[in-house]
Amino acid sequence: MAKKHKHKAQPVTPAPAKEQPVADTTQPSQQPALFALFLMILAAAVYALSVKNGFVFFDDDKAILYNQALQNPSLGKFFSGQNLGMYAPISWIGYWIGSMISGKEAWGYHLLGLIFHSINAGVAYLLLRQIIQRHWPAFFAAALFAVHPVQVEAVSWAAALSTVLFSTFYLLGALAYVQWKQRTTPLYYGLSITAFVLACLAKSAAVTLPLVLLAIDAYQARKWDWKFVVNKIPFFAFSLVFGVYTFMTRAQEGHDIEATSAVFSTLDRFWMVCQTVLFYPVKLLVPVSFSIAYPFVKTGGSWPWTYYAAPVVLAGLAFIIWKKGRSNADLLLGLAIYLLPLSVMLPFRTVGSFELRSDRYVYISCLGLFLLLALLVEKMKPVQRYGVLVGIVAVFGFLSFQQTKAWKDGIALFSNCVDKTPEAALCQCNLAYSELLSLKFEESAYHYSEALKYDPNTVEAYNGRGQAYFNLKKIPEALDDFTNAIQAGLVSPKLFLNRGKCLVMLNRSQEAIPDLDRSIELESQAPEAFYFRAVAYEKSGMPDRALQDYNRAVELNPSYLEALVNRALILMGLQQFEAAVSDYSRAIQLNPGMAMLYNNRAYANLKNGQPGNALEDVNQAIAIDPNYARAYQTRAVINQSLGKMDQVQADMQTVQRLQQGG
């Protein structure tokens, strides 16, 4: 037999262990609610200064101060009317709550904006965490959402309360839907639909939520399935209703003021849409040169080169994503969250009076890009992540704090806009309007002229500059501007009133009457229009018609001092002295320090057979203004009727001395 060889037993060497991923020590053991609360506090701290800002008369006036639904508010008025071509009763309720907090001051609206933005920061974190099932990128993305300066506009603008308010319901609707997918509890599905409807009732931009929910389904299933559409049918039904209704009302609003709308061709809009899709990511990654508006401005009939390059860049990015990234679910989710909410804000067509890009349009969409950035940072080591998070949040928070100051008031805001884009007529025009409201008429006229220089089609600038000229007593120049505005197609009761006033002041009263008729036809409750038409009638030798209009002016505004005085003068001419005394008495109650009123009532009392009362009145006129020569003349007439000739002589000597400047 062959000898068997014994083999020495070899020591067992353990196989090399497979490389384990570095433990993520950043995963929290605490409840997500604590991190959401932290983000809410962070957002409130960064934007706290916004509460000190005032109103900005760029929608704040139309959306809030002059919103008919907020005049004698009721649920019926909130849910049955429109404003600026929009149906947004939930936002109007928000504005009403703001007015209940601070009255006619702006801080109540800003406080609500701050509160809802803080809530949105917390909900954004909870939503992203539920979708991607990872804490770190969800927290990082929500932190950027909370403090990025692109959010300043939505938080610091009173009228933009509608943006943060609809976003709250939008995010809550998405969160409830994800909860329903996980728990299959009908309650969450019902809450999701309810929140979605409330979001649409706050702002029609919410109609994109069903598309975002489809993207969430596809992300979590890692595939597309047409079955995802079935449970979205109620969502799409509401989207269709709100979308069609809004399209109709906004288009009508744009048509009503078509004279102020820029005209862009289909090709123009192609360049505009492509450039806008790239504009916001650049603004988010390089957060500088923020403005209330970024108008589309051509130079010499051509777009800047970035517009022509945008389609090429987008095509390249789409090709890369198709070849390399279509299997990357995180990438596709981030792009969907960015593009889908933004889609209704892209300039495919005009639904208002002008085209622009605005920071608030990307309020929700920015979450998608922030998520992509967070997913990139997630690949870093934990310590590096913390450094990047703290550094970026600190820088963005500081920039937001500084940018909030630009919203102090309209002049500060649009001065910033003009500094950034002086060639934008929109910025020039709104700065001029803010200056007009602040009684800075020279500056206002200058910036309206600049608006017309850069864009002669900004015909609203004629109306504004006309008002500035009118207040500067440049009546012929004002008349020319009002005429240009009317010839360009602008129609408003104030515009026809202003041209009528100019014609009256230039002693062209008969020419003024048709304009004042048109103003009253457009707005039958404006006392000033009746007053100036009365003046025009009076100067045209029609006292009876003048009296009727003065009566209407006083009826609409019982405190209309000028109308009371002028009506009293007509009544004197008609020998209705007692009625004239009554009007002068009401005028004196309104302005007891005006010597002329006492003098005129003295004369009316004298004619009404009350010389004693007349003497008291004229003495009061002289007590108010000892150098009022006409009062001494009136007193001389009264004393003459009383037979006090020595006093008559003394008063006439005083009149002579005053007239000679003695």
Q: What is the dihedral of CA 47, 50, 52, 55, to 10 degrees?
A: -170
The answer to whether residues 628 and 599 touch, using CB atoms and an 8 Å cutoff, is yes
Residue-wise pLDDT for 464-477, tens only, equals 999 999 999 999 99
And the tokens for 586?
């009401």
In total, the chain counts a number of residues equal to: 662
Q: Taking the C-alpha atoms of 186, 191, 193 and 196 in order, what is their torsion angle to the nearest 10 degrees?
A: -160
What is the SS3 assignment for 357? Answer: strand
φ and ψ at residue 478, rounded to 5 degrees: -65, -45
Classify burial at 13, counting beta carbons within 10 Å of its beta carbon; exposed 0-12, middle 13-18, buried 19 or more. exposed
Q: Confidence class of residue 200 from pLDDT cuts 50, 70 and 90?
A: very high
- Residues 247/252/254/257 CA torsion (nearest 10 deg): -170
Distance CA 656, CA 662 (A): 9
Q: Does an H or E element contain 514, and which?
A: helix 509-522
Asked if 539 contacts 509 with a C-beta cutoff of 8 angstroms, the reply is yes
Q: Annotate 377-401 with b (16+ C-beta within 10 A) or e (fewer).
A: bbeeeeeebeebbeebbeebbebbb
**What's the token pair of residue 528?**
């000033």
Residue corresponding to tokens 């304009």: 515
- Predicted local confidence at residue 385, as pLDDT: 82
Instruction: Encode pLDDT of 339-396 as tens digits.
Output: 999 998 888 875 544 557 889 999 999 999 999 999 988 888 888 888 888 899 999 9
Q: Is the pLDDT of residue 254 over 60?
A: no
pLDDT digits (tens, 9 = 90+) for 426-464: 889 999 999 998 999 999 999 999 999 988 888 899 999
> Residue 642 pLDDT > 50, yes or no?
yes
pLDDT for residue 25: 43
List, as one string, the DSSP characters of 569-615: HHHHHTT-HHHHHHHHHHHHHH-TT-HHHHHHHHHHHHHTT-HHHHH
How far apart CA 588 and CA 572 sit, in angstroms, is 17
Dihedral angle of Cα 368, 369, 370, 374, to the nearest 10 degrees: 100
Burial of 457 (0-12, 13-18, 19+ CB in 10 A): middle
Mean pLDDT score of the chain, rounded to an integer?
Answer: 88
- Rounded CA gap, 498 and 519, in Å? 9
Q: Is the pLDDT of residue 255 over 90?
A: no
pLDDT of residue 7: 45
CB contact at 8 A, 222 and 329: yes
Is the separation of the CB atoms in 254 and 350 below 8 Å?
yes
Say if residues 28 and 386 touch (Cβ distance below 8 Å): no
3-class SS shares of the chain: helix, strand, coil, % to 5:
75, 0, 25
pTM of the model: 0.77
Which residue do the tokens 């692109």 mark? 150
Question: Are the CB atoms for 537 and 547 separated by under 8 Å?
Answer: no
φ and ψ at residue 28, rounded to 5 degrees = -80, 150
Residue-wise burial string across 611-636, b where 16 or more C-beta atoms lie within 10 A, e elsewhere: bebbbebbebbbebbeebebbbbbbb
Give pLDDT tens digits for 267-323: 999 999 999 999 999 999 999 888 887 888 888 789 999 999 999 999 999 998 888
Distance CA 460, CA 463 (A): 5
Position 5 pLDDT exceeds 70: no
